[in-house]
Structures are given as C-alpha cells and as structure tokens.
Amino acid sequence: MLLNDILNKLRQWDKRSNQWFSKNFSVLLFEIVLVVIFVFFIDYMMNIITISDQVKKESVTEQILMSQAGLMLLVVLLLLFNSFLMLYLFNNILRISGLLKNLDYNLGRRQAPRESDI
C-alpha cells in the first residue's frame, strides 16, 4: 500500500510539472511574440508621425491618406491590446482549471466516512 501511495504521488507530481511546463512556456512564448510586435508597431507609429509633419497642407489627397494611416494605427493598437487581454484571460482560465483539477484530485483521495464510524 505504501508503494502505491508513493507511485500515485509521483504520478501526480509528474502530471503537475508537465502541465506547468506546457502552459507557462506556451503563454510566455506568445507574450514575447506580442511584445516584439508591439515594439515594431511603436517604431512604425513614430515613423508615421514623423512623416505626417512633411505632408503639404494644400494636398487634400495626402492629408486624407495620412488621416487614414493614423486611424489604421489606432485600429491595430486596439487589436494588439485585445490580444494582450485575451492572453491574460486565457492564462487565468488555465490556472483556475489546473487549480480545480488539483482540488478535485485531492478531495477524491479522501475516503468517505464508513457507516461504522458514524
């Protein structure tokens, strides 16, 4: 019986470590990719702002194109923030799911009281 308890505990720790590695490293990789995209986006946005100073006031077409570029930058920024929010929510859902599984496992190991004990 002692050997079975040790093996069950070892399986539980192996399963936990596997879940931790798979969840945390995939989320971390996605976070790094989002941060790199965000840095490139900020650089591109600064270039657009610099170019907008050189737009001629008489050219209506250039002004419309610059305003559209600014609006598209705003849309892309909102999409990036949405990606960060979704990643945050997904990470929290994974953590709560793992916590509930561990809680279920630990509560399932407890034995129900016997009728002779009551």
- Pick from 67, 103, 80: which is nearest to 30 by CA? 80
pLDDT tens track for 68-88: 888 888 888 888 888 888 888
- Listed by start position, the domains of the chain span 34-105
Instruction: Please tell me the distance from the alpha carbon of residue 79 to that of residue 77, in angstroms, as a whole number.
Output: 5
Verdict on whether the full-model pTM lies above 0.85: no
Instruction: Please tell me the distance from the alpha carbon of residue 23 to that of residue 18, in angstroms, as a whole number.
Output: 9
Instruction: Please tell me the distance from the alpha carbon of residue 118 to that of residue 107, in angstroms, as a whole number.
Output: 20
pLDDT tens track for 87-109: 888 878 878 888 888 888 788 87
pLDDT tens track for 14-71: 888 877 776 667 777 778 888 888 888 888 888 888 888 888 888 888 888 888 888 8
Instruction: Please tell me the distance from the alpha carbon of residue 53 to that of residue 24, in angstroms, as a whole number.
Output: 44
User: Residue 113: its pLDDT value, please?
Assistant: 62
